Amino acid sequence: MAARGRWLDLPRIDPVQLASATLSAEAALSAVRNDPLKWFRCSSVAQRRFIGALDVFDEVYMRAGQQSGKTVIGARCAVALMRGCEELDGEKLPHLGVPNVGVLLVQSYKQAEQGAIAALLDSIGDWPHHIVKVQNTIQAVYVRPERSRSEDHNKWSKCIIMVSQGEFPSGMRLDWVWADEPPKEHYWTELRSRGKANRKFIKFITATPLDRREWGPLKEWYRGCEWPDGNNGRVEIRMSVYDNTALSAEHLKRLEREWKDDDLRDAKLMGEYVHAFGKCPFDSAGLVRWGSRCEKGMPLESDPRVTWWADKCHCVQRKMMLVADPSAGIFDAKNEHDPAGLIVGCRICRQVVARYNGYLQAHELGRMARGLADNFGRALVVHERNSGYGESFLLGLGNYGNVYIEHHGDRMKAMTERIGWATTATSRGVIVGAVQKAIREDTVKVYSRECVDSLADVIIGADGKIQAAAGCHDEDMIIVGLFAHLCETLPVYVQENVDMGKLVRERYGIVGSVADGDDFAVDW
């Protein structure tokens, strides 16, 4: 009876009001289904940047965590382009003309069925469209442009669904292309050339970097293209799950719990580049700390090929060290040959203030090092002499005198001396250990994003050896490791400003006041 009494105490609901509220809700839902783009609102600043970037850059890469909203914004933009919308949530869109033709590139139909394709259909809603299926698989979607009155879907905009492992897109002519998740390198390279003559061609990628074999090319394509400046018509925008205001705090905590012990946790939450195959030997938190410190440098006036961070070292007595890793200097499109690397750092505050990375022959790198060493106060020059490139480097260095000399000797063998550093199986461990210590203890300051990314590309291979991942190089690890190691092991003399009068008074026990500016005058 008590329970019945409590039910009886509930307020009565007017059936007319309930029916009216139900009809209002159904009308609102129907309006959203009829035109999803009209009611769409960005759930993050990154999504808004993504829309605006399509009108400014040729290629836009959204590197994001899972459930951050990357596929949603990709689908909304694709449909908006097909409809010929001038803007999306107040952000201007590029004008491609309608009808237009685009491609949605996915890794597999099975993966895309509940992902990009589902997001595309959700973005279309009940807006007039036509779906083409082959054996129950969606192959294309037609969408009627906003100003079109034609009922013939062949005169509407068209989105072709393609798979990276499928038919090659040779001969196609497109207005836009969207890759959801990392595309195959050769496939995306081909799609880049599929634009129409004298027409704007929009290319965008939304991806979570989970597999090194898949995101490796993306990292190279968009290196140095960070928002907002971008580079060479390309821009990379970052987005994490924490940027997505549509996710509740409880949901974010659940994701953190579920991915706590996942090796790909940082990729899924933050969109960080993580090696699914091969662990990086360097402290991940330390690399994030180094990465947060990175900033864009400026071309050195005396040699614009070198990037310089002018305002970092404030040491009165600048004791600089130049570390170089020469190579054959052979460039190839497949990125198989090692570039040369060079850094200049202060031995006192241990800050790397200049960096070069590129394809210079060894003797040319030596000439560059000579100019930089003179420019940076007769810096100590240290070079790796492996593979015979060291001798050629010295020819370019000329008669420069302040060079590192490696000493070896023990009780059973006479001491040997050679100019430069030789990296062996043993000394490579010294270099790796020095980098590990510098990153974990933060004893070296590096401001180059490319350098820090290169360190993150180092992995422990299947054979246990520490090496650069496939398609990457280790020259930054070598030169940063040498700099960190030699800063620890080579003493640097710093002359201090000494008050000689005070020193003499203290030594001879003279006490009293100083009269008339005479350091040795004493009141008796």
Average pLDDT over residues 79-107: 95
- Under DSSP, the state recorded for 420 is B
What does the pLDDT read at residue 75?
A: 97
Residue type, 214: E
Contact assessment for residue 267 and residue 273, using Cβ atoms and an 8 Å cutoff: yes
Alpha helices in 247-312 (DSSP H): 249-258, 265-270, 284-293
> Span 452-479, mean pLDDT?
84
Alpha-carbon distance 133 to 121, whole Å?
14
Q: Is the pLDDT of residue 519 over 70?
A: no
Tell whether the model's pLDDT for residue 522 goes beyond 50. Answer: no
- Residues with Cβ within 8 Å of 176's Cβ and at least 6 positions away in sequence, in order, are 78, 81, 96, 100, 102, 103, 201, 202, 203, 204
Q: Closest Cα to residue 176, out of 198, 189, 191, 155?
A: 191
Q: Where are the domains of the chain?
A: 32-270, 284-489, 497-524
CA distances (Å), 219 to each of 209, 236, 305, in order? 9, 10, 22
Query: Quick one: pLDDT at residue 523?
Result: 47
pLDDT tens, 297-311? 999 999 999 999 988
Q: What is the average per-residue pLDDT within 1-21?
A: 59
Tokens coding 277: 């195959």
Nearest to 340 by CA among 317, 363, 314, 321: 363
Q: Which two tokens stand for residue 372?
A: 């930089």
Q: Has residue 418 got a pLDDT over 90?
A: no
Give the DSSP H/E element, type plus range, for residue 368. helix 362-375
- CA dist 94 and 56 (Å) reads 8
CB–CB of 72/46 below 8 Å?
Answer: no
Q: Looking at the domain covering 32-270, what would its CATH class be?
A: alpha beta
pLDDT digits (tens, 9 = 90+) for 198-209: 999 999 999 999
> pLDDT tens-digit profile of 343-375?
999 999 999 999 999 999 999 999 999 999 999
CATH code, residues 284-489: 3.30.420.240
Statement: residue 2 has pLDDT above 60:
no
What's the token pair of residue 23? 């009809």
Separation CA 222–CA 83 (nearest Å): 29
**pLDDT tens per residue across span 221-267:** 998 899 999 999 999 999 999 999 999 999 999 999 999 888 888 89
Mean pLDDT, the chain, integer:
87
Condensed to tens digits (0 to 9), the pLDDT of residues 406-415 reads 876 556 665 6
- CB count in 10 Å sphere of residue 402: 14
pLDDT of residue 524: 42
Euclidean distance between CA atoms 432 and 481, whole angstroms: 6
C-alpha–C-alpha distance, residues 496 and 74, integer Å: 61
Model confidence over 41-92: pLDDT tens digits? 999 999 999 999 999 999 999 999 999 999 999 999 999 999 999 999 999 9
Of 12-16, 154-158, 183-187, which gets the smallest average pLDDT?
Answer: 12-16
Share of the chain above pLDDT 90, in %: 60
CA distance 102 to 199: 13
Residue pLDDT, tens place only, 279-334: 788 988 899 899 889 998 999 999 999 999 988 988 877 799 999 999 988 876 55
Under the banding of pLDDT at 50, 70 and 90, the label for residue 1 is very low
Once rounded to an integer, what is the mean pLDDT over residues 153-182? 91
